[in-house]
Amino acid sequence: MSLRRSSCASFASWSRPWPLALFCCLAGCLASTSPTPSATPAAPPRPELTCLRQGAERIETANFRGGNQPDVVKVFHKNSDGSPPLYMSCKEVDLNADGRKDMLIYLDKYGRKLREEFDHDKDGVADQKSFYEAGMLVRDELDSDSDGKIDLIEHFQDGKRVRVERVASTPATPAPATPAPATPTSTSTTASSPAPLAPPPSPTSPH
């Protein structure tokens, strides 16, 4: 048989269909060694204004726009004197239907406003706080430049603004410079050697 015929016979033997068991074995090995894609971690939720829920007796949600996210959350706490037994202490409101609460309303047991908080720049931190006394607005505190510090206070009386106070940011006072310690001057004291004593006069021999 010629070399060419033997080569063809060898190729024909390798080109035959592989047994099913061998194919399954190889497929299992390939499947076991293939890398498993790692699950992408979920992004943390963006911060939003939230009422204090600790110790709440009941929490109610409402949705007046439709959709899956509640537009209003009402938090109820127990009344200490029992009349009424429960009162709505805080309410969260989504003003612009973006799924995040950007307004808080704190109430006393009579249903009067105590404080309102607004998040205008959508960073989860209140940049306007309105304070009430007996349900009447008395003071507005605003962070106009979103640096986390109140820089404008508006005072109200009988529902009218009577005074505007601008709060200047206090620059950090630099620490007083510490004087450098004086370098001690080394004064070397050289002990002076005593002058040599004159030799005693030689005795004069008597004549």
- pLDDT of res. 119: 94
The better pLDDT of the pair 140, 100 is held by: 140
Residues comprising the chain, all counted = 207
Listed by start position, the domains of the chain span 58-166
Question: Contact at 8 Å (CB) between 127 and 140?
Answer: no
In angstroms, the Cα distances linking 13 to 4, 7, 16, 130 are: 14, 10, 6, 89
Q: pLDDT per residue over 88-125, tens digit each? A: 999 999 998 888 899 999 999 999 999 999 999 988 99
Q: Is the pLDDT of residue 146 over 60?
A: yes
The better pLDDT of the pair 142, 183 is held by: 142
| pTM: predicted TM-score of the whole model, two decimal places | 0.61
Measured CA to CA, the distance from residue 107 to residue 72 in angstroms comes to 15
